[in-house]
Amino acid sequence: MSDKLTGGRVNYYLVKVAHPRREEQDPYQAECEDIIHALGMTFDEGCAFKALWRTAAARQQNGKPGHSPVYDMEKVVHYGSNILRHLKLEEAEDVHQTATGSD
């Protein structure tokens, strides 16, 4: 684990998948950002995912320097609350549109 923080590419966002769940799939290396983009995550989803990823990586001795699991879980709660608020607003708008017959 490096003691230097950078805004660039870092190894704690990489993980080797030695034994993929699909038997026919070869081992590969996954990149956190690639998964975020491939799944089309929103900003809030991506931030929560990265916080979970950092915590799991730290348990495997590949963590961000100065990592705090409490800090990252506070991020998960914060971004999760944002996601929930947006979903509830969308749901309320859908109910309103259905009730009024508008699009």
Q: Is residue 68 part of a domain?
A: yes
Q: Is residue 1 part of a domain?
A: no
Q: What are phi and psi of 83, to 5 degrees?
A: -60, -45
Listed residue (74, 33, 85) closest to 51, CA to CA: 74
Q: What does the alpha-carbon distance between residue 49 and residue 26 come to, in Å, rounded to a whole number?
A: 24
| Number of independent structural domains in the chain | 1
Which pLDDT band holds residue 9 (cuts at 50, 70, 90)?
Answer: low
Q: Is residue 39 part of a domain?
A: yes
Q: Is residue 52 part of a domain?
A: yes
Q: Quick check: pTM over 0.75?
A: yes
Q: Is residue 45 part of a domain?
A: yes
* Percent of the chain residues past pLDDT 70, beyond the cut: 90
Q: Is residue 4 part of a domain?
A: no
Q: Is residue 81 part of a domain?
A: yes
Tell me the residue range of the domain where 56 lies.
11-100
